[in-house]
Amino acid sequence: MTERVIVTVGIEFYGQQPARDLLERAGLECIRRSGSPGWPDDETREYITGMQGILAGAEFLNASTMDHTNDMRVIARNGVGFDRVDLDYCTERGIIVTNTPGSMADAVADLTFALLLAAVRHVVAGNENVKAGGVYDVPIGEDLASLTLGLVGCGHIGAETVRRARAFKMPVLVEDPWVDPQRIRDLGAKPVDRSRLLAEADVISLHLPLTDESANFVDAGFLSAMKPGSWLLNTARGGLVDEDALIDALTSGHLAGAGLDCQATEPPEGRTKDLVALENVVALPHCASKTATARKAMSIAAAQSIVEVLGGQEPEFVVNRDVLKKLDLQPRT
């Protein structure tokens, strides 16, 4: 029987047809369906029925959406984040979950600096002034070389962000206990603990995954310890930030501003809507990876993981590595 894969991301719309070709060359039946973060669980349950693999977008994949199917073997996230996938449940069921680290690193690092420049040089305000025919001016900004950048997290995206910061002549501090300090030094940055990061960085940029442990990582205590007049950047996940606390820090003047590619509620509702409406916030619609190059690389990497798992081989990027103990897959060489 031909194994079936459901694709819920827009492969055709970003020059990503090679990913679909890869699946079909492996003899897999590729079924296309566009997804969105707002899909109800009953629709998700319906479209994954009878599937052995899913090239997954933003849908929730957990017990409530998957308990009816015994066929699923691999969930390949088209991206780095996996906060919408219940890893414990998948591990228990023997379902491999993969992601695509590195494939979007350049795109996200680029957008991190787009947000940084927009925030510290008041790009949005200047654009609006010119278009409105108003005052031909903007508030005074800052040279990037005069600012110290602090990163929380130094994986693929964090490392590329450091490289860009060094090109802008910015000193860089990094907090990441999981990365060898020498690797951080080799990038041209300085490994530090959190207290020093918060006290010395003029800009703090988040580059860590959203998990149960990291939810509201940036809380009132974190924000109050940040340097007065500093900026916060988030191109990772909205759930990392306590938005009530961030609103307080921005409206009180403790923080100069924020650049947010992601929010707790997308599209914005409630307090998220209040946050993105602030004049000192630059907000984007979770589009950091939305370049043709990144999306193509992401989808090909995800498709390759599916081909490997359904072909009996261990894939390269397994998120729930404990599941491998339950499966008889050919190890990677």
279: annotated active-site residue: no
Structure tokens at 299: 């989808």
Surface-to-core class of residue 115, CB atoms within 10 Å of its CB (0-12 exposed, 13-18 middle, 19+ buried): buried
Strand-pairing partners, residue 234, are 206, 260
CA 279 – CA 265 distance, rounded (Å) = 19
286: annotated active-site residue: yes
Strand-pairing partners, residue 257, are 231
DSSP secondary structure string for all residues of 47-113: HHTT-SEEEE-S--BSHHHHTT-S---EEEESSS--TTB-HHHHHHHT-EEE--TTTTHHHHHHHHH
CA 135 – CA 219 distance, rounded (Å) = 37
CA 35 – CA 43 distance, rounded (Å) = 10
188: DSSP letter: T
Contact 318, 34 (CB under 8 A): no
Closest by CA to 233, choosing from 200, 255, 265, is 255
266: annotated active-site residue: yes
Strand-pairing partners, residue 255, are 230
Active-site pick, 29, 200, 266, 314 = 266
CA 230 – CA 149 distance, rounded (Å) = 10
Active-site pick, 237, 243, 295, 308 = 237
Strand-pairing partners, residue 55, are 7, 76
Active-site pick, 160, 286, 295, 308 = 286
Q: Give residue 108's Cα distance to chain centre.
A: 8
**Catalytic (active-site) positions:** 237, 266, 286
